Amino acid sequence: MSLSAAQKLALLPAPLRRRWLAAQQRHTLDDIEKGAWWWVGRPEQFRPPGDWLVWLIRSGRGWGKTRTGAEDLLDRVFQHPVDMVGQRTEWLVIAETLNDCRTACIEGNSGILSILARMGMKKGRDFTYNKSPKLMITFASGQLIYFEGADNADVGRGFNLAGLWADELAKWRYTYAAWYEGILPSLRAPLIDDHPRAVVTTTPKPIKLLIEWQHKTDGTVVITTGSIFDNIMNLSKHVVEELKKLYEGTRAGLQELYGHLLEEIEGALWTRPMIENNRVKRSDLPELKQVVVSMDPGAT
């Protein structure tokens, strides 16, 4: 299990901890007191290197997906205040519903407002948080973060986005259409020394888009996986033990606790590995003179 800087320090003997803290500068101690992300985040919760388009964080419950998504989004917001043509950048957060956006992604303990407060930013001075007529955060610099619920396939359409955070994507109703018809075409702002990226945080389900991303090999999608046990130091051990007793050894446990993407239906006669391992290339086939498709209709 990887550890945050705070967790590593906590494991040291008390004299070494005191000596290390005494050697730090005031701004470092201020960060530690506020619980800054560099201090409390585990290594796998930080943005991976590479020229990827999608960072898919596919993990079990309680891993720390919400804090990771919010921290990464804000980090990129402040890295890219303007695009190549001088326009202030705009960003988007999408959750299953608009209420999920508000309660989890914005106002929750791991949400955007909590992180801005830890950064020392004040509402009304450094940013405004509007709930009507549209849910959005406007920074004094002019940058915007919009928030939407994934209620239809057009979610995300019409923006000129510098980046996106999509939360619990596996729960959305129109995931595949929303990604290709609304979201992907909107990730188009011309950034300086970078390009728009999407961070996706979700407990997995075997939906078409996640399965497609799972099998991508062109580097456009990078996947971080993890389990509830990676974050056990920040969770109620009693509840984690109860969940372990409830789910351990089950398919639901692999998905909900360990974040495994279960592509196969339990008891399926034909599995994906079976099909892939016996696939015949078109070049290996003889010239076909006749193609017949047969069907066995259901009957009683």
* pLDDT exceeds cutoff 90 at 162: yes
Confidence of residue 284 (pLDDT cuts 50, 70, 90): confident
For residues 169 and 201, give the distance between their C-alpha atoms in angstroms, rounded to a whole number. 7
Structure confidence by residue, pLDDT tens digits, 192-250: 999 999 999 999 988 999 999 999 999 999 999 998 887 888 888 888 888 888 877 77
Return the CATH class of domain 48-261: alpha beta
The model carries a pTM of: 0.84
CA quadruple 38, 43, 49, 54: dihedral positive or negative? negative
**Short-list 229, 218, 230, CA closest to 2:** 230
113 CB-near residues (< 8 Å, 6+ apart):
106, 107, 123, 129
* pLDDT exceeds cutoff 90 at 277: no
* Region class of 272: left (phi > 0), else alpha (psi between -120 and 50), else beta: alpha
Q: Where are the domains of the chain?
A: 1-41, 48-261
For residues 60 and 229, give the distance between their C-alpha atoms in angstroms, rounded to a whole number. 9
For residues 148 and 169, give the distance between their C-alpha atoms in angstroms, rounded to a whole number. 13
pLDDT for the residue 268: 67
* pLDDT exceeds cutoff 70 at 44: yes
pLDDT for the residue 233: 82
138 CB-near residues (< 8 Å, 6+ apart):
127, 128, 130, 144
**Short-list 196, 166, 199, CA closest to 83:** 196
**Short-list 181, 192, 166, 180, CA closest to 89:** 192
Confidence of residue 283 (pLDDT cuts 50, 70, 90): confident
* pLDDT exceeds cutoff 70 at 275: no
Mean pLDDT of 154-181: 95
Could you give the percent of the chain with pLDDT greater than 90? 73
pLDDT for the residue 236: 84
pLDDT for the residue 28: 96
Confidence of residue 273 (pLDDT cuts 50, 70, 90): low
Q: Residue 284 carries which side chain, given as an amino acid letter? A: D
CA quadruple 8, 14, 16, 22: dihedral positive or negative? positive
Residue 278 DSSP symbol: T
CB atoms within 10 A of CB 16: 11
- In the numeric block, the tokens 């929750």 are attached to 108
Mean pLDDT of 254-262: 80
Mean pLDDT of 132-148: 95
Mean pLDDT of 33-55: 96
Structure confidence by residue, pLDDT tens digits, 62-73: 899 999 999 999
**Short-list 144, 172, 171, 175, CA closest to 159:** 144
Residue with the larger pLDDT of the pair 187 and 295: 187
For residues 37 and 6, give the distance between their C-alpha atoms in angstroms, rounded to a whole number. 10
- In the numeric block, the tokens 């996947």 are attached to 223
What does the chain come to in residues?
300
Mean pLDDT of 137-158: 95
* pLDDT exceeds cutoff 90 at 281: no
pLDDT for the residue 287: 85
Q: What SS3 string covers 70-88?
A: HHHHHHHHHHCCECCCCCE
Residue 55 DSSP symbol: E
- In the numeric block, the tokens 């945050």 are attached to 4
Enclosing H/E stretch for 15: helix 14-22
